[in-house]
Amino acid sequence: MNTKDYAFVRTKLVNKEEIAFLDVREEDPHAQEHPLFAANFPLSRIEIDAYSKLPRRDVPIMTLDDGEGDAQLAASKLMALGYADVSVFAGGVKEWKRSGGEVFRDVNVPSKSFGELVESKVHTPSLSAQEVKQLIDSKADVVVVDVRRFDEYQTMSIPTGMSVPGAELVLRLPEIAPNPKTKVIVNCAGRTRSIIGTQSLINAGIPNEVHALRNGTIGWKLADQVLDHGQSRKFSDVSPATAKEALNKSRKVADRAHVKRASKSDLEEWQTQSHRTTYFFDTRTPEEYEAGHLPGFRSVPGGQLVQETEMYAPVRGARIVLVDPSGVRANMPASWLAQMAWDVYVLDGIENGDLTEKGTPALTLPPLPKTQEVDAQTLQKWLSESNGVVVDLSTHKNYSKGHIPGSWFALRSLLKDALAKLPKAERYVLTSSPAELAIFTAPEFADLTQTPVYVLAGGNSAWLDAGYAMQSDPLNLASPTIDRYQRPYEGTNATQASMQAYLDWEFGLVEQLGKDGTHHFWVLDPH
């Protein structure tokens, strides 16, 4: 197995050359500490993610773990999938630190550290939770816009707040707050998205006074103020005149950020190009995307793309192409990606007639291994006779929401340990969402046991389609729930200590960026 060292990776990053530096551990160990541009790419999902996230088969790939052996396994799998330039980072995270490399905690760290850099350079205005509550309570002329995903907004939100995901702000705000004297408060859960959202409006020259809610819903909770839950206030469509003005403003910001422009002829060339990694993202809402989109483009709302760039584009140094026929929701995210040192283009000249593909494209997957399959009706019979055990390989989050009654949660990356905890059975039936994950896991599972192994045809979706119920309890855990890092800003049950620790960590990111020295980030002067 080829190995590469710290100097090799650092040189690639400093020279802005393409590199896929992949931390193949599960998300929680990844979040404990990792290099800045080591994108989380779990071993468990390699066949599911590889072809969409690593489109160029000869891109230099480095796999990273912390000595568990996952990096070697992942490298072998990637080579079997046809990737030609795969190496293991020798010595794992410990060697990165020994070599002088900076390590970072949490997830989406490139974006979060960039957000802190923006705030430190241009002093994005903000108000405390107490100040915002006073404005709301006094019935001041103020609107609160929540720039997170709609599901996050529904979980908990600021009273009176409306869901306006980040890339929509410059397009929608002129009709949400048509009076230029209306104060605008931008919030997220913590800091990054509210900083970027507030600064987007300022950079675009919105006439209103705009402030970020300092520390977001975390700050609100730390101030012992009550949040709303289950709200559904959303932005609405805007007039053609508003859309045109927003396009003009967003284009000026993109130009000042040195965003490049692309045409349909560029698109035709890049979609067949093999010597450069290019990501194609449609930055509108998922609903608009499903109603009609350009072939070859993936749906990633622009605000989330800026917030979670490495999750969608793990090849640092790649080209990114954004499209939104209205222009605004491509230009504004592109302006931020350019400041994050991405080679970013906005695709111009796209009309509704070009959006010929509908729905959500199927995953591009390698050939599926041959397995013994069972249909939902037969599995239901087996379970009623109590002679089978169902093993669910979905994310723990999805498993917790609903699973086949009696099924066990297991991680593909920890199968040997999971088998030791599973009840003895006449047969094991593997299932998952997506269904293909169980199929890819089945041969590895079968190699570890003498018990017959089957796969539920169609996975959990087929069980539901057959009219059978799911349950959310009990949770039978054959593996630890390390596939997802518990974000202190995400749920409603985070402790005050964990929320404050998260904010303290964010405040230290700018200093860490300086120590790392591989990022090339810069910040646009808003004036």
Question: β-strands 278-282, 183-187: how paired?
Answer: unpaired
The amino acid present at 254, given as its one-letter code, is A
Q: State pLDDT tens for residues 121-174.
A: 999 999 999 999 999 999 999 999 999 999 999 999 999 999 999 999 999 999
> Rounded to an integer, what distance in angstroms lies between the CA atom of residue 384 and that of residue 387?
8
**What's the confidence (pLDDT) of residue 420?**
96
For residue 90, what are its two tokens? Answer: 């020798």
Q: State pLDDT tens for residues 481-521.
A: 999 998 877 766 778 888 888 888 888 999 999 999 999 99
pLDDT band at residue 84, thresholds of 50, 70 and 90?
A: very high
For residue 403, what are its two tokens? Answer: 């699973």
Q: State pLDDT tens for residues 191-218.
A: 999 999 999 999 999 999 999 999 999 9
Helix (H, G, I), strand (E, B) or coil at 178: coil
**What's the confidence (pLDDT) of residue 492?**
65
Of 499 and 289, the one with more pLDDT = 289
Burial class (CB in 10 A: 0-12, 13-18, 19+), 353: exposed
What is the pTM assigned to this prediction?
A: 0.95
> Rounded to an integer, what distance in angstroms lies between the CA atom of residue 24 and that of residue 30?
8
What integer is the mean pLDDT of 422-432?
96
For residue 63, what are its two tokens? Answer: 């796999």
Question: β-strands 162-163, 61-64: how paired?
Answer: unpaired
Query: Do the beta carbons of residue 190 and residue 503 sit within 8 Å?
Result: yes
Q: State pLDDT tens for residues 397-411.
A: 999 999 999 999 999
Share of residues in the chain with pLDDT > 70 (%): 100
For residue 355, what are its two tokens? Answer: 């959006």
Per the prediction, the chain carries an average pLDDT of 96
User: Is the pLDDT reported for residue 415 higher than 70?
Assistant: yes
What integer is the mean pLDDT of 173-191?
97
Q: How far is CA 497 from each of CA 215, 379, 383, rounded to the nearest angstrom?
A: 14, 46, 44
Burial class (CB in 10 A: 0-12, 13-18, 19+), 461: middle
Q: State pLDDT tens for residues 444-467.
A: 999 999 999 999 999 999 999 999
Q: State pLDDT tens for residues 20-60.
A: 999 999 999 999 999 999 999 999 999 999 999 999 999 99
**What's the confidence (pLDDT) of residue 200?**
98
DSSP sequence for 97-109? HHTT---B-SSSH
Dihedral Cα 32, 37, 39, 40, nearest 10 deg: 0
**What's the confidence (pLDDT) of residue 126?**
98
Which of 169-202 are b and which e, b meaning 16 or more Cβ less than 10 Å from the residue's Cβ?
bbbbbbebbeeeebbbbbbbbbbbbbbbbbbbbb
Q: Give 118's strand partners.
A: none
Q: Give 145's strand partners.
A: 162, 186
Q: State pLDDT tens for residues 312-351.
A: 999 999 999 999 999 999 999 999 999 999 999 999 999 9
**What's the confidence (pLDDT) of residue 46?**
97
**What's the confidence (pLDDT) of residue 505?**
87
